[in-house]
Amino acid sequence: MENRTARLTLLIDPKKKAMFEKLCDQDDVTPSQKVRQLIRDYIEDKLGKDWKDEVFGRE
């Protein structure tokens, strides 16, 4: 199960941030939701479909 208590801080160009927020709004998702999705997709790409077992362990 995911635990959303860790914070990720990053620096980004203000114009890219504004465009990212605009595009997220068009997709009716928050920027945080989209970043979490991008991270999940990246992990799955690197570790495969069963990545949750490796990351979260068996429950």
**Could you state, in order of their start, the residue ranges of all structural domains in the chain?**
24-54
Average pLDDT over residues 35-50: 91
Q: Rounded to two decimals, what is the model's pTM?
A: 0.80
- Cβ-Cβ contacts under 8 Å for 29 (sequence gap 6 or more): 37
**Is 51 within 8 Å of 44 (Cβ atoms)?**
yes
Confidence class for position 58, pLDDT limits 50, 70, 90: low
